[in-house]
Amino acid sequence: MARLIFLGPPGSGKGTQAAQLAQDEQISHISTGELLRKAVADKTDLGVKAKYYMDKGELVPDQLVLDMVRERLHKLDVQSGWILDGFPRNVAQAESLENLLKEVAQVSDSVISLEVPDDLLVDRLLARGRKDDNEETIRRRLEVYREQTAPLIDFYRARGQLKSIDGAQPISSVTAVLKQVICS
Among all residues, which ones are annotated catalytic? 14, 89, 128, 130, 141
Binder among 20, 32, 96, 110 for ligand AP5 (CB under 6 A): 32
Who contacts 58 (Cβ-Cβ below 8 Å, separation ≥6)? 140, 144
If the CB atoms of residues 1 and 120 are measured against ligand AP5, the closer one turns out to be: 120
For 154, what's the count of Cα atoms within 13 Å in the CB-facing half-sphere?
Answer: 6
Nearest to 78 by CA among 165, 2, 163: 2
Site for ligand AP5 in 74-113 (CB under 6 A): 86-87, 89, 93
Q: How far apart, in whole angstroms, are the C-alpha atoms of residue 61 and residue 32? A: 12
If the CB atoms of residues 12 and 108 are measured against ligand AP5, the closer one turns out to be: 12
Who contacts 76 (Cβ-Cβ below 8 Å, separation ≥6)? none
CA-based diameter of the chain, in Å?
43
- Segment contacting ligand AP5 by CB under 6 A, of 20-28, 73-81, 151-159, 169-177: 169-177
Binder among 4, 5, 7, 14 for ligand AP5 (CB under 6 A): 14
- Segment contacting ligand AP5 by CB under 6 A, of 32-40, 74-82, 96-104, 158-166: 32-40
Check if the beta carbon of residue 116 is closer than 8 Å to that of residue 62: no
Residue 3: φ, ψ to 5°: -130, 105
Each residue 50-69 as x (binds ligand AP5 by CB under 6 A) or -, in order, gives ---xx--xxxx----x----
Query: Contact positions toward ligand AP5, by CB under 6 A?
Result: 8, 10-16, 32-33, 36, 53-54, 57-60, 65, 86-87, 89, 93, 124-125, 128, 141, 167, 170-171, 174
